[in-house]
Every structure is written in C-alpha cells, then in structure tokens.
Amino acid sequence: MKKALKKAENIIYYYKGSDRIEGAPPEISGDLTGISGNLTGIRGNLTGIRGNLTGISGDLSGIRGNLTGIRGNLDDCEISDEDRKKGIDISELVEE
C-alpha cells in the first residue's frame, strides 16, 4: 500500500470581468473558514456559512449553514432586515 491521495485545498475565488482572482471579493466580510468555490455575485457577512458557494449569489448576511449543493440567488428569497437580525438557517430557504 502507498499514499497516493492529496488533500483538496479550500480555494475561494471570484471573477472580475474575465479575470479569475484568488481570494474573496471586497463585498464580503466575516469568517471564511470552511468556505470554498466561486464567490462572484456574493456579498455580506459570511460568518456562520460553510461549504462550496459556487452557484450562489446575493446577500448572505444573517444566513447560517452548509450551502454545498444549494444553488440560486438569495435576493429572490425576499429576506427582511428583521429576519437577518434573528438569523436564518439555510434549510428554511430551500424549496422541497
């Protein structure tokens, strides 16, 4: 037996025009631990979020949970400022 596997890096990136830029866009704040993927079109505080965010867009402030496999624009969820202050688990926003 031999070791032949490699750990995947949690890479975050976004696009500015056609250029891929490693790191988080300036519209994002908070703890990015456990986040990976394409952050183009995402804004807000990502503390409490984890997972691969490729395919997500909109304001993630006040949202918590694992977004891996979730796709869509959070702005379409019509989240109020009051709801964001209380905090929202991502499972409350996913259609069944």
- Helices (DSSP H) in the chain: which residue ranges? 81-86
Residue 85 lies in a domain: yes
User: Domain residues for 39?
Assistant: 12-93
Task: Count Cβ neighbours within 10 Å for each residue of 24-61 and write b for 16 or more, e otherwise.
Answer: bbeebeeebeebbbbbbbbbbbbebbbbbbeebbbbbb
Question: How many angstroms separate the CA atoms of 48 and 2, rounded?
Answer: 37
pLDDT band at residue 1, thresholds of 50, 70 and 90?
Answer: confident
Name the pTM for this structure: 0.81
Q: Report how far apart the first and last C-alpha atoms of the chain are (Å, whole number).
A: 44
- Structure confidence by residue, pLDDT tens digits, 52-69: 999 999 999 999 999 999
Q: How many domains does the chain have?
A: 1
What percent of the chain clears pLDDT 70, i.e. is strictly above it?
A: 92
Q: If DSSP codes are grouped into helix, strand and coil, which group holds residue 27? A: coil
Residue 2 lies in a domain: no
